[in-house]
Structure formats: structure tokens, C-alpha cells
Amino acid sequence: MLPLKANDFIGNYRIIEKIGEGGMALIYKAHQPALKRNVVIKKLKDPNREIINRFKKEALISASMHQENLAAIYDFIYAQRSYFLVMEYIDGEDLRTLTDYLAPLSPMQAAIIIMDIARGLEHIHARGIIHRDIKPSNIIISRDGEVKLIDFGVAKDKISTRLTMTGMIVGTPAYMSPEQANGDNLTTQSDLFSLGILFYELLTGVKPFYGVKNTDVLARIVRAEYIPAEVINPQIPRRLRHILKKTLQRSTGRRYQSATELIFDLERAVPLRFRVRKKELLTRLMNRLDKNGQPPPDSSVHISAFNNDRYKYWNWLNVLIVAGGIYAALFLGRQFATTQTGYVGLRQVLPGSEIRSGRQTIRAAHNRLITAGPFLQGSRAVTITYPGQSMIHLAQVQVAARDTVFINAPPLLPGRMSQVRFETKPAQAEIWLDKQKIGLSPVDEFYLQPGMHRLMFRKNGFRDFVLPELEVGQQPVSIRAELVPSETKTD
């Protein structure tokens, strides 16, 4: 079955170009001359019976619904021995792209997007339909500021329950609900949990549930084990924190009972002046998107504690060996993740820079706040490699549990950065430079802008060592300080 080419016709629709490909269909942009409008045509890839039934189901479900936050279905065609679904063309970008390039979004923009998705879910839930695959790539934001929910290929209604075998897990692992991860029966609340995961990602720029393998991700979803969003982004308003926490409740009894209830809380949390300017705010967000700049970071390389070696011992399958150890392992694992880890926030990072910490790497796609972590609390080395430049060391940072330590990345000023070395006796003294803690001594390589700076070394049991006027020029500088005990003996 050959793919379609430009100017091919399917019924009354002329193919313009291929714009995407999913697991079930090829996606084309086409033109309908009779109505002078562009459309999207999805062409079924695999003609087996189950896939055909699912494709037909998507057409029937979508065509039966008419709501501003749901993509409209125009036609369902069988031609050239294949099936085609004709739907509304939305001139915009999916939320996956926006998240990769622009997250974290402002709390109000994120809340407005989630509110519109919830309105679409409210409409389909009222008709007994569960979407089952809420994720960024299934949300489109138009350049006019409209939010559209698409792709009902795995949706479930009251009639078509036989299309999925009992116990089969359907959906995208990182955005599943606990009951979905367990293969249990789903309710409309399952979509709301997935929407909460999406809300978390918009507010923080990272997914709440990470793992090396899908089984790791699903295990943490089942335990609802995640770092509170406000630890990563302290700017989240209190009301939105409460809403996010409620959407991500492990128990359906404590979760939002309906999309209507969620919408009500969001409307109370988002001031009217933002809600009436919804399209303006989202249009402004779309105008900020620049895909011609640096490529977005791969979501798999966001620095995550679940990639650390210490988590290899937390394989949830292994704890099944001893029944009595299951509860203890789950409880201690959750306590460990929430009380022993923190984050590092980096400001003013040059786009294209590579940020490293140990074996973990993240590439900066923008110069706004970038959050790395979670990390085990304690001292941690973080380095930045600028595009085409040598490595810039940011010394050691002191990660605190349940908190975020912020760092201003050194500016890239060719020919104007001086290398500085810090050493103290005894070692492991705090280094404060221009009233900002930069790490613990010794530090072999730190790049600093020439000029006058204020330096202080501080360590418990010793007097502070202060240099109120440290002059740094173009040449490398080595600073060594011998700290004096705070209580010295006299003869």
C-alpha cells in the first residue's frame, strides 16, 4: 500500500503534504475545493480487522460530538482499498512541541490550557466515553489560541468494550492513571489523573513519574510517588497546587469526581481578567515558539533521580520475594524520594549549552529557568559546556531535601572570563561569592567575570574568612585560605 503524494485525490480532497505518522495511521494535510478549506486526512496503515474496527470507532465517536475543544470529524471514506478519516485542520502545534520548547509555562497559561481540555473531557464523559490517552501530542493549540483534544483511537464507550482484551493496558505509560497501570477497569476519573500529569509537566517542565523502563514508570504511578511541583517551581499559586495534588490522588475517592468539579476549582483559581483574555494569552504563547532555534531537549534526557544507580535497588518486582517486605519497601521508597532529594535550578543558561551532573545530561533549548533533578541531597558537581566552548565548571552545589537551589550560569563573554581556584584548610568550607553560595572547597575550576568581587569562606567551628574586595583580572587566580577555629586556646 503506497503512501499518498502531493496532488493525489481521496474522494473530493486533494492531498497537500504528509504532516505526521502515528502508530495506526499516516496523517496528511489536504484541501477540500468545494468548501475552500484545508482538512486533515488520516490513512489507516494496517488493514487488520481489530485496527479497522478501532479506526471506525474513532470516526463514530468523534462524529457524534460537537464541542469547541474537540476536533471535528467531517467524513469517513473507503477508497483505494484503504480507510480514511477526514477531520478538522488546526493551524497550530501540539502541546508536546510547546512543552519541549517553552515549559515551564506561566501558571495562568497552564491552568487555562488544562481548563479547556477539561471542558472537552466534560463533554465526552457526559456521553459515557473515556478517552484513555490524554497526553501532550493529543492536544493541539491553534495560532488563534484555541485548545483542541484529538485522537479517540483508544477511547472507550459503553458499547465498544470488546475492542480491548481484558487485562490489556492501553495508553501511554508516562500519562497513565494508577488503575490504568494496573490493568483495572477505568472510569472518567482516569482521564482526570492523566490530565493532572499533563498539568504537572506544563507547570514544571518535567514529568512527575520517570523511570529507566516503562515498568519503573508504572510502578511509581501506582504508588503516586512524585516530587511536589512547588519544589521544582515555587511560583505555582497555592490554589493551583491544591488542584494539582487532588488530580494526582492515587485513590479515586480522593481524586476529582468529575471534570465539572475540576473546572469549577480552576475557574475559582484563575482570575476573571485571565479567563476573558484566554485566546490572547495562548496566541502570545504560540508567538513565542521558535522551532528554528536550538532543538528541543529529548524528554528522555531530563535529569531524573530514577536514572541514578541507587534506584537500581528499588526494583518493585524484586520486593515480591518476601510478602512482608512489600509494604516497608514501598513506604521507605516514597519517604526517600520525597525527603532525601532536591532540585537544581539554572538561570541564564545559553541555548544549546549542555548541562552535566555525574552521568546525567540535559541540553538547554532556551535561556529561561532550567530545572535539573531530583538529586540526592548533599554536595553535587554541576558543569556547563557552552556551544563550541570549553567546559565551564559551576563548582559544587549543596542540594537540600524537598527544595530547589538556584544557580545563575556565568555569562559567555569570550576573552573576558577568568579561571579561579578556591582552596581552604580544612576543606569542605562553604564558598560565598558576591553573596551567593557557589559550593564547597576545594574548587579547581570556576570561571568568573573580571572585576571586583566579595568572597567569604564559612565552616562550622571556624571563623568566617572574608575578602571584601577580591580583584579578578584576565589571568588565572588561585585563592587559598587557612581557617581559624572559632575558639582558640591561649597559654
Give the number of C-alpha atoms closer than 13 A to the C-alpha of residue 251, restricted to the C-beta side.
Answer: 2
Angle at 296 between CA 119 and CA 68, to 5 degrees: 15
Q: Which amino acid is at 87?
A: M
User: Are residues 281 and 147 in contact, defined by beta-carbon separation less than 8 angstroms?
Assistant: no
Are residues 346 and 407 in contact, defined by beta-carbon separation less than 8 angstroms? yes
Burial class (CB in 10 A: 0-12, 13-18, 19+), 90: buried
H or E element that contains 58: helix 49-63
Evaluated on CA atoms 159, 163, 168, 174, the torsion sign reads negative
Contact 447, 418 (CB under 8 A): yes
Take residue 222 and report the three cell numbers written for it.
501506582
**H helical segments located in 205-353:** 214-223, 229-232, 238-247, 259-269, 272-275, 278-288, 323-339
- For residues 274 and 108, give the distance between their C-alpha atoms in angstroms, rounded to a whole number: 7
Task: Give the integer Cα–Cα distance in Å for 366 and 370.
Answer: 8
Helix (H, G, I), strand (E, B) or coil at 112: helix
In angstroms, the CA 148 to CA 176 distance is 20
d(CA 355, CA 385): 7
Nearest to 258 by CA among 134, 109, 123: 123
Determine which one of 94, 100, 116, 133 is catalytic. 133
Q: Reply yes or no on whether 298 is catalytic.
A: no
By the 10 Å C-beta count (0-12 exposed, 13-18 middle, 19+ buried), 484 is classed as exposed
Residue the block writes with cell 519517604: 335
Quick one: which H or E segment has residue 187?
Answer: none
In the DSSP assignment, the letter for residue 130 is B
**Rounded CA separation 243/112 (Å):** 13
H or E element at residue 224: none
List the catalytic residues.
133
